[in-house]
């Protein structure tokens, strides 16, 4: 596939990193020559310096025969114009744009993106995506990561194991014997900062971060077996009233009325603006690191703090201050993946990565086969792919025990004829089965090949 990525920032870099090792022809455009130079020196991609919305720059990048263009520059307007030029001048078939400004996304203006107006095939809104993740974290605060699959009938849970976990030092193959009716499977383990796909003889230890697939019906039981509580707090402080903080508060007001929310926003003008937009949320003007302000907000009676400013260090320090002041659950927004190793020593319970969330949204429109969902794990260490098995796949008609998946991948939950389960060795996959596969990044091309449909499908 020939792709053009417009924008060499964190998201553009990550998309290029994901796809450059998979036999794709990739060109990255950015107006900053230093970013282009660093990217082309590090990855197997071509680079063009210039403004991506200019037709002659797109032509230099190979737009005449490109299959897809992904516009993730820092400007919404540039991203949209890129898609317009890609459509009108170069007839590029698939166009993805990242759009942050919420007024562009209002339902009243949805006709804007019709082919005869502003032809964008897929809109990615980081603020909405991140807000959805933040609310999911609030609902399952004992998990450092959660993601729904198979239309919400299965979940991927990220749990950090403590000393009181009942299944420590137990070979994984014995878990199915000890809990024969449990619909859950451990698909990934991070130990000493290294992520791997466990084998049946592997054991779990305190401090491990494990990724577990389970059916929705067995979520509570899975939490219990792995030593976690599932109580979600109702009293929440959001630190940072930017687009993400406002979106979270708005959704909590409209969809989860049992939550009692306060927002701390440092900028007075912004605090007044969001106070006018919110009905039930209490807005406080001040610094989330100010102990007096936290005490005024009754931090010792709060169930959870979400730190959602645009500064990673402020978020992390705010969570640490809230934890020291008696808040049981703290969750930080973190853009820089190199900082995530500091979260646990600081006592921060969970984090949200806007980059990972955005990359996951984009990847599901790129992967081959009938891919329904892609979720990126960590710093592009692994992916979870949800895909429907079509008649041309090599998986059709095979029992799970006969499927030769790459060594660093594992089958998670599946859905056959509307029923979701964790498969066993005798489970036979058929055309139409929807599968989830957890795979380290190096195995993704082979997984895609197994799910591949004929080229005429597109």
Question: Count of residues for the chain?
Answer: 458
pLDDT at residue number 21: 64
Residue 402, token pair as written in the block: 């006969």
The pLDDT assigned to 275 comes to 94
What tokens does 393 get? 């796949």
User: How distant is the alpha carbon of residue 304 from its chain centre?
Assistant: 21
Alpha helices (H) in 21-159, listed in sequence order: 33-42, 55-60, 76-88, 126-139
Q: CA 6, CA 27: separation in Å to the nearest integer?
A: 8
Architecture of domain 2-124: 3-Layer(aba) Sandwich (3.40)
Handedness of CA 207, 208, 213, 214 (dihedral sign): negative
Quick one: CA dihedral 69, 70, 72, 75, positive or negative? Answer: positive
Q: What pLDDT, on the 0 to 100 scale, is given for residue 338? A: 80
Say yes or no: do domains 235-356 and 358-457 share a fold: no
Are the CB atoms for 334 and 317 separated by under 8 Å?
A: no
β-pair type (382-388, 370-377): antiparallel
- The answer to whether the CB of 420 falls within 8 A of the CB of 414 is yes
- Does the structural domain 358-457 have CATH classification 3.30.70.1450? yes
In angstroms, the CA 79 to CA 425 distance is 47
pTM comes to 0.76
pLDDT at res. 455: 30
Domain-wise residue ranges, the chain: 2-124, 235-356, 358-457
Each as own residue / partner, the long-range contacts of residues 13-17 (CB below 8 Å, 24 or more positions apart, any chain) are 13/39, 14/355, 14/359, 14/376, 14/380, 15/70, 15/72, 15/359, 15/362, 15/363, 16/43, 16/45, 17/43, 17/380
Among the residues of 233-338, which ranges form H helices? 243-255, 268-277, 291-296, 312-324
| Sequence-separated (6 or more) residues with CB below 8 Å from residue 410 | 185, 187, 188, 197, 437, 438, 439
Q: Given this model, what pLDDT does residue 457 score?
A: 34
Helical (H) or strand (E) element with 11: helix 10-20
Consecutive H or E run containing 238: strand 235-239
Domain at 235-356: CATH code: 3.40.50.720
Q: Confirm if 169 and 204 have CB atoms less than 8 A apart.
A: yes
| Phi, psi angles (nearest 5°) of residue 60 | -60, -30
458 residues of the chain, pLDDT tens digit each: 899 999 998 889 888 887 776 678 999 999 999 999 999 998 889 999 999 999 999 999 999 999 999 999 999 999 999 999 999 999 999 999 998 887 777 766 666 766 667 788 888 888 888 888 888 888 887 888 888 999 889 999 999 998 989 899 999 989 888 898 899 999 999 998 899 999 989 999 999 999 999 999 999 999 999 988 776 668 999 999 998 999 999 999 988 878 899 999 999 999 999 999 999 999 999 999 999 999 999 998 999 999 999 899 999 999 999 999 989 889 999 988 788 878 888 888 888 888 888 887 787 777 655 777 888 887 778 989 898 887 777 788 889 989 888 999 999 999 998 899 999 889 998 888 999 999 998 888 888 777 764 333 32
């Amino acid at each position: 596939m020939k792709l053009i990525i417009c924008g060499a920032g964190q998201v553009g870099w990550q998309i290029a990193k994901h796809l450059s090792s998979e036999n794709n022809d990739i060109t990255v455009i950015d107006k900053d020559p230093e970013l282009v130079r660093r990217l082309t020196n590090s990855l197997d991609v071509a680079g063009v310096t210039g403004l991506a919305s200019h037709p002659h720059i797109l032509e230099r990048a190979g737009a005449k025969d490109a299959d897809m263009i992904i516009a993730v520059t820092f400007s919404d307007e540039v991203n949209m114009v890129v898609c317009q030029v890609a459509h009108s001048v170069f007839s590029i078939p698939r166009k993805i744009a990242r759009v942050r400004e919420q007024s562009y996304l209002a339902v009243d203006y949805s006709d804007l993106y019709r082919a005869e107006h502003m032809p964008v095939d897929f809109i990615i809104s980081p603020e909405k995506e991140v807000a959805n993740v933040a609310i999911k974290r609030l609902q399952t605060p004992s998990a450092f990561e959660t993601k729904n699959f198979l239309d919400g009938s299965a979940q991927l849970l990220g749990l950090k194991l403590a000393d009181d976990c009942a299944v420590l030092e137990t070979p994984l193959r014995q878990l199915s014997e000890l809990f024969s009716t449990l619909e859950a499977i451990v698909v990934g383990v991070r130990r000493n900062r290294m992520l791997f796909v466990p084998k049946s003889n592997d054991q779990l230890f305190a401090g491990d971060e494990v990724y577990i697939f389970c059916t929705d019906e067995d979520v509570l039981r899975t939490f219990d077996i792995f030593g976690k509580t599932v109580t979600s707090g109702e009293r929440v402080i959001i630190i940072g009233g930017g687009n993400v903080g406002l979106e979270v508060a708005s959704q909590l007001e409209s969809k989860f009325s049992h939550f009692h929310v306060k927002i701390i926003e440092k900028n007075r003008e912004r605090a007044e603006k969001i106070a006018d937009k919110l009905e039930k949320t209490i807005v406080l003007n001040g610094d989330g690191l100010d102990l007096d302000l936290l005490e005024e907000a009754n931090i010792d009676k709060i169930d959870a703090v979400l730190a959602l400013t645009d500064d990673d260090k402020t978020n992390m320090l705010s969570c640490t201050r809230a934890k020291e002041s008696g808040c049981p659950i703290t969750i930080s927004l973190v853009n820089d993946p190199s900082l995530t190793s500091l979260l646990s020593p600081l006592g921060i319970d969970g984090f949200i990565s806007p980059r990972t969330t955005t990359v996951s949204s984009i990847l599901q429109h790129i992967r081959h086969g009938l891919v329904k969902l892609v979720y990126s794990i960590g710093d592009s260490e692994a992916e979870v792919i949800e895909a429907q098995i079509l008649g041309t796949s090599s998986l059709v008609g095979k029992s799970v025990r006969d499927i030769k998946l790459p060594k660093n991948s594992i089958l998670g939950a599946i859905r056959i004829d509307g029923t979701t389960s964790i498969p066993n060795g005798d489970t036979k996959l058929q055309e139409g089965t929807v599968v989830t596969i957890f795979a380290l990044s190096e195995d993704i091309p082979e997984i895609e090949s197994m799910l591949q449909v004929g080229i005429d499908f597109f």
